[in-house]
Amino acid sequence: MRRGPNESKRVLVTGGAGFLGSHLCDRLIAQGHDVICADNLFTGDKRNVAHLLAHPNFEFLRHDVTLPLFVEVDEIWNLACPASPVHYQHDPVATTKTSVHGAINMLGLAKRVGARIFQASTSEVYGDPQVHPQREDYWGHVNPIGLRSCYDEGKRCAETLFFDYHRQHRVEIKVARIFNTYGPRMHPNDGRVVSNFIVQALRGDPITIYGEGRQTRSFCYVDDLIDGFLALMASPADFTGPVNLGNPGEFTIRELADQVIALTGSRSRIEFRPLPSDDPTQRQPDIALARERLGWQPKVALAQGLERTIAYFDALLAGRATR
Ligand code: NAD
Ligand code: UDP
């Protein structure tokens, strides 16, 4: 039987040693839940959860979600998947397997133990969008055979599996479409734009803008996103999503570079590099659905979130921070 909202639950977080997963584990532990963090450490790092290892409610399991797992839990948060283009393109076949086989294994587990299951989907399901801002009813504009397809199509197929398990087996699902999120515990060599620019600025290295920097993204601070995760998981069973979670503030990559340079006081120069193939030209979430159904919206402005993230990387690079 499903436990009440205030009762302690047994919870599985796949990808729990990654950037978002480790913040989620922190919040679940703080709420008094029993957390199993399953991660193969492909892009995650045990140091992200090192502070939790001695906690009696926390357990780390080195596990690859492409293989079946059996644990008795009330909730599953499926976050396992490399998220940075550099990492997911490193072994594209493994990326598709992680999304698709991982979804099948976790949905099978949810069905078997009667757990509610959350999927970390992505704005990438909209591809290079021709509708702006993106609403959940937009089906997207995705190249099925390009360099980003292993991630985009893997995540789209995972969404299909979630809705088919829901319709066919009545599994309780919650699908979040996450837009670019940043913050402390991103890997310094992650390759994503916010961590790249901050690390480059702090080291005085050139800031690498791909293309002319006119492409846009909307950046959400991690604490806001995790609030959205928790609101979605706690929402009534009939609300499945998909629901956009992100910050609607939209910036060009050039504007982001300028903000990072200003906030770090860096002397780094800007270096333009070729634009990767299929790089989306624009991206901005329409969050009306999340506002209405979850009462959620982000609170942290880009400059504020960047300051906190810069402080984290500054300490990390100086060897003062724990990850
Ligand atoms: P991340 O790379 O820091 O975390 C992913 C975690 O999954 C890592 O700890 C990694 O080791 C683990 N992992 C990868 N393959 C695995 C496998 N086969 N088995 C077990 N563990 C595996 O990235 P993140 O930003 O924390 O992303 C977490 C989730 O959120 C991902 O599913 C990602 O697609 C999704 N997402 C993130 C963003 C964002 O902006 N951060 C945007 C959209 C979607
Ligand atoms: N980008 C960039 N310089 C970098 C890293 C990324 O200009 O060092 C650009 C990238 O081409 C894209 C945007 O920043 O247009 C966001 O890239 P990221 O990899 O963070 O995520 P995406 O939204 O593309 O998945």
The per-residue pLDDT for range 67-112, each reduced to its tens digit, is 999 999 999 999 999 999 999 999 999 999 999 999 999 999 999 9
Assigned domain for 151 exists:
yes
The per-residue pLDDT for range 183-194, each reduced to its tens digit, is 999 999 999 999
Active site residue 138: no
Q: Which residues line ligand 2 (CB under 6 A)?
A: 84-85, 180, 192-193, 196, 208-210, 215, 217, 253, 276, 279
Closest CA to 284 of 133, 139, 180: 133
Q: What pLDDT, on the 0 to 100 scale, is given for residue 80?
A: 98
98 token code pair: 């992680």
Share above pLDDT 90 across residues of the chain, in percent, rounded to a whole number: 96
The per-residue pLDDT for range 252-278, each reduced to its tens digit, is 999 999 999 999 999 999 999 999 999
Q: For residues 83 and 150, what is the distance between their CA atoms, to the nearest angstrom? A: 11
Residue 15's alpha-carbon distances to 195, 230, 290, in angstroms, are: 19, 16, 24
Q: What pLDDT, on the 0 to 100 scale, is given for residue 323?
A: 52
Assigned domain for 90 exists:
yes
For residue 112, the enclosing domain spans 10-182+220-246+285-300
Q: For residues 12 and 116, what is the distance between their CA atoms, to the nearest angstrom? A: 11
pTM: 0.97
CA of 31 to the centre of ligand 2 (A): 34
CA 255 vs. chain centroid, Å, equals 23
The one catalytic residue in 88, 126, 151, 312 is: 151
Q: Which ligand has the minimum distance to the alpha carbon of residue 180?
A: 1
215 Cα nearest atom in ligand 2: 15
pLDDT band at 7 (very low <50, low <70, confident <90, very high): confident
The per-residue pLDDT for range 15-42, each reduced to its tens digit, is 999 999 999 999 999 999 999 999 999 9
Assigned domain for 272 exists:
no
Whether the pLDDT of residue 321 is over 90: the answer is: no
Is the distance from the beta carbon of residue 21 to the nearest atom of ligand 1 less than 6 Å?
yes
Whether the pLDDT of residue 234 is over 90: the answer is: yes
8 A C-beta contact, residue 107 and residue 162? yes
Assigned domain for 18 exists:
yes
8 A C-beta contact, residue 233 and residue 226? no
The tally of domains found in the chain comes to 1
CATH of the domain at 28: 3.40.50.720
Q: What pLDDT, on the 0 to 100 scale, is given for residue 6?
A: 63
Whether the pLDDT of residue 322 is over 60: the answer is: no
Whether the pLDDT of residue 1 is over 70: the answer is: no
